Amino acid sequence: MPRRSYEPSGKAGDGALTILALGCTAGGVAVGLLEGFVSQWFSLFIMFPLMIGITAGSIGAVIVKARNVRMPVIAALIGLVGGVLGQLTVMGDAYMEARSMVGGELGLAEWYELVATAGTSITRGSSKFLVQGVGYHILVAVELVLAGGLGAGIPFVAAREPFCERCRRWYDGHDVLATIDGEKDQLTATKRVLETGDYARALRDGKPVSGQRALLFNVLRCTQCPTADAQLTVKLRVTTKKGEEKVTNQWKSMVTASELGALRAAAPTQSS
Ligand SMILES: [Zn+2]
């Protein structure tokens, strides 16, 4: 019950959405044009739409941060359009090329029918598949979903991050307050205490790290104002035998300044 998720304010800087729309679209279309150009020599299915989506989405995320866009859904929709337009640019490029080859007498729908019927071959390792008909439609749909999905997802995540409405800046202070044992029974016990809202007790009850599993108490806050709420994220870090670390979020909530103070006071001095 006491868990409070961060709610974006739904605001954005002046003119931010226009810049966001221009940036995402320009990014997606530019990569689409580039891929349309190189596809006369080679075409990378899945990779091309990924690149378009990542470009449109990453530009979107940069503008979200620079222009203080706290509207995750709107940012996602704008990024989606950028990614989809980029992918359609690749198709439009192929269409224009086909049209010029037959002397301009080729409708868009007619062209698409021809291409889908003829199909395209995909090489996977040493084997080659011919994708045509319904399979081709599915391939086109998957490519649009990939480009649009990444275009949408990346700015969505950026616009959901905590923003200090008082200082008009993104939360910028990352601290690991404490690291405690994260063995399975400890994880369950810690989560149970966190659910009660007594965050400091979760730390006091914590045991020193004994094995491969550790719980990290991370705090994200606005460094300009000590009174604003902070965001507490409890992460599980599992170290594999090969020494690789896997970190997963286990629990997240906004905490008040006094709750943060209690957490700091309860943090064991030994931390890694
Ligand atoms: Zn602030």
Kindly give the distance from the C-alpha atom of residue 164 to the centroid of ligand 1, in angstroms, as a whole number: 5
- In the structure, what pLDDT confidence band is assigned to residue 45 with cuts at 50, 70 and 90? confident
- In the structure, what pLDDT confidence band is assigned to residue 64 with cuts at 50, 70 and 90? very high
Question: 214 near 221, Cβ under 8 Å?
Answer: no
Please check the confidence at residue 253 and state whether its pLDDT lies above 60.
yes
- In the structure, what pLDDT confidence band is assigned to residue 269 with cuts at 50, 70 and 90? low
| Most confident segment among 120-124, 131-135, 156-160 | 156-160
Please state the rounded mean pLDDT for residues 20-35.
96
Kindly give the distance from the C-alpha atom of residue 7 to the centroid of ligand 1, in angstroms, as a whole number: 15
Kindly give the distance from the C-alpha atom of residue 70 to the centroid of ligand 1, in angstroms, as a whole number: 15
Please state the rounded mean pLDDT for residues 232-255.
94
The DSSP code sequence of 48-110 is: HHHHHHHHHHHHHHHHHHHTT---HHHHHHHHHHHHHHHHHHHHHHHHHHHHHHTTS---HHH
Kindly give the distance from the C-alpha atom of residue 229 to the centroid of ligand 1, in angstroms, as a whole number: 9
pTM of the prediction?
A: 0.86
Kindly give the distance from the C-alpha atom of residue 106 to the centroid of ligand 1, in angstroms, as a whole number: 59
Return the pLDDT at 272: 44
Kindly give the distance from the C-alpha atom of residue 13 to the centroid of ligand 1, in angstroms, as a whole number: 17
Kindly give the distance from the C-alpha atom of residue 262 to the centroid of ligand 1, in angstroms, as a whole number: 20
Q: What's the rounded Cα separation, in Å, for the pair 168 and 165?
A: 5
Kindly give the distance from the C-alpha atom of residue 236 to the centroid of ligand 1, in angstroms, as a whole number: 28
Model confidence over 170-226: pLDDT tens digits?
A: 999 999 999 999 999 999 999 999 999 999 999 999 999 988 999 999 999 999 998
Please check the confidence at residue 1 and state whether its pLDDT lies above 60.
no
Return the pLDDT at 59: 98
Kindly give the distance from the C-alpha atom of residue 173 to the centroid of ligand 1, in angstroms, as a whole number: 10
